[in-house]
Copies of this chain bind each other. A is one copy, B any other.
Amino acid sequence: MAAQPRDVVEQYLKLVATGPTDDIIALYAPEATVEDPIGTPTRVGHDAIRELYAALDSADQRSTELHAVRVAGNCAAASFTLTAVYGDKRMTLSAIDTMEFDDAGKIVAMRAYWGPDDMVME
């Protein structure tokens, strides 16, 4: 049975916290599109999507907290907070991501809703 949207969202947020990046990428279909945040150029395919998550690799610590996940058919939306520590700096990003899934349970499209006010570096 294909992975269910809710399970994929939970797995996604777990992997954003722990890595490895390849396991995050494996949740995406090969030709998936990612717009993160909305308004920036759309990334198409695994190689382009990988660049998005590469910045996480240099964090000393990172964690995610899932506030809400809602599933409608083959789509899901998730409200969450990502925290990443780089040396003595802490970055906190609160966003809502939407995802569309194919029949195999892979993410085919992800769009991230967040703006400058939603990212705090302190």
* Partner-B contacts on A (CB < 8 A): 37-39, 67-68, 70-79, 94-96, 98, 111-115, 117-118
Number of copies of this chain that the complex holds? 2
> Do A68 and B39 touch across chains, with their CB atoms under 8 A apart?
no
> Do A68 and B79 touch across chains, with their CB atoms under 8 A apart?
yes
Given contacts A70-B114, A72-B113, 14 further A-B contacts (CB under 8 A): A37-B73, A38-B73, A38-B75, A39-B75, A67-B67, A68-B94, A68-B96, A70-B118, A71-B114, A72-B114, A72-B115, A76-B113, A77-B79, A98-B113
Given contacts A75-B38, A77-B77, A79-B79, contact A95 B115 (CB under 8 A): no
A38 CA / B39 CA spacing, docked (Å): 22
